[in-house]
Amino acid sequence: MNVDSLICSRLDRRGIEEIRAGGVDAVTVTCGFWEDAIESLDAVVSWRELADANSDIAQIVASAADMREARAAGRLGIVLGFQNSSFLQGRLGFVEVFADVGVRVAQLTYNIQNDIGGSCYDPHDSGLSRFGAEVVGEMNRTGMVIDLSHVGNRTSLDAVHASSVPVAVTHANIFELVEHPRNKPLEVLRPLVERGGVIGLTTYHNLTRGRIATPELWSEMVARSIDLLGLTAVGIGTDANQRGTDEYREWMRRGRWSRQPQLGASPPPGVAPSERPDWFSGPQDFGRLGAALEARGLGREERELVLGGNWMNFYTRVIDDVREKQMGGVA
């Protein structure tokens, strides 16, 4: 199984075909960033309709078992996820509601403070709020993956310790290898990994800087990440945005909360922009990641873990096992 743990593309049939051409078997999509509950439900409906209209090549999946079934049927497994918790609108009961309609991944915060905790770009990280701690508990109970990719470091550590099951960073790199506030430091990642968590190393050029310029440099970063965290803790989360428009990027960065320019992960003025790699342009090139790891010297079993096996083991433990145990076997 090849798994991409996060993309932010707004898919159509062409986009699905690109992902499948890269050999990806399951992908977590971004249903929303700043949307409220109704808008988020609309987004879930749209993703369901997309899968229904392309049922020969894709299907919505809600468990690791579903992902394997989709692969066996020759379809891309689409995992529904959100990059913020705005879909809850401060209502704890909405965690279960969205889990019931198939949402399996949610990031606690995006790029600003919310009622759950702080973000990676906040000058002062408040830590996990009391509401946030209850949300973590509900996500654990309903088999929804807790994603810490854009979450502040203090809030991330609080969530790691508050969660009764492993948590994830679906799309980031190690800060000590690429210094960027969106990347995660070892002080967060090591406790996360000790509790069974996984990080999806991103190919996003702004978060890899020169380390994505060539297959050799990228595979070196992966190898060093494995050295620091262990083989079973490392996966891939490209954060791909296939044919994303400037308007869509502005929505990601500013939503409705700001009228000021927001850089997101882009470098600030005075810092040279990072180069987009010519060897990896998106999910359609996922197969090249495996080739780069093979050239680096990773064996077949090692490559299989990094390219998807670690995520499948994580999903099985956090989604399938939890829902079977706590929700009467409904996955």
Ordered domains of the chain (ranges, CATH): 3-326 (3.20.20.140)
Q: What is the pTM of this model?
A: 0.96
pLDDT of residue 130: 98
Tokens (6 digits) for 116: 């759950």
Residue 328 pLDDT grade (very low, low, confident, very high; cuts 50, 70, 90): low
145 pLDDT more than 90: yes
Q: Is 317 within 8 Å of 166 (Cβ atoms)?
A: yes
Would you place residue 236 in the very low, low, confident or very high pLDDT band (cuts 50, 70, 90)?
A: very high
> Looking at the predicted structure, is the pLDDT value of residue 106 above 60?
yes
Supply the DSSP string of 153-176, one letter for each residue.
HHHHHHHHHH-SS--EEEEE-BTT
What pLDDT was estimated at residue 327?
59
pLDDT at 273: 81
- The answer to whether residue 324 scores a pLDDT higher than 70 is yes
In angstroms, the CA 279 to CA 296 distance is 16
pLDDT in tens, 174-231: 999 999 999 999 999 999 999 999 999 999 999 999 999 999 999 999 999 999 999 9
Average pLDDT of the chain, as a whole number? 96
Percentage above 90 pLDDT, the chain:
94
Spatial distance between the Cα atoms of 269 and 254, rounded to a whole number of angstroms:
18
Each residue's pLDDT tens digit, 253-290:
999 999 999 999 998 888 888 888 999 999 999 999 99
Q: pLDDT-based confidence at 134, cuts 50/70/90?
A: very high
Contact 33/108 with Cβ under 8 angstroms? no
Mean pLDDT across 158-171: 98
Judge whether residue 329 has pLDDT over 60: no
Distance CA 148, CA 171 (A): 9
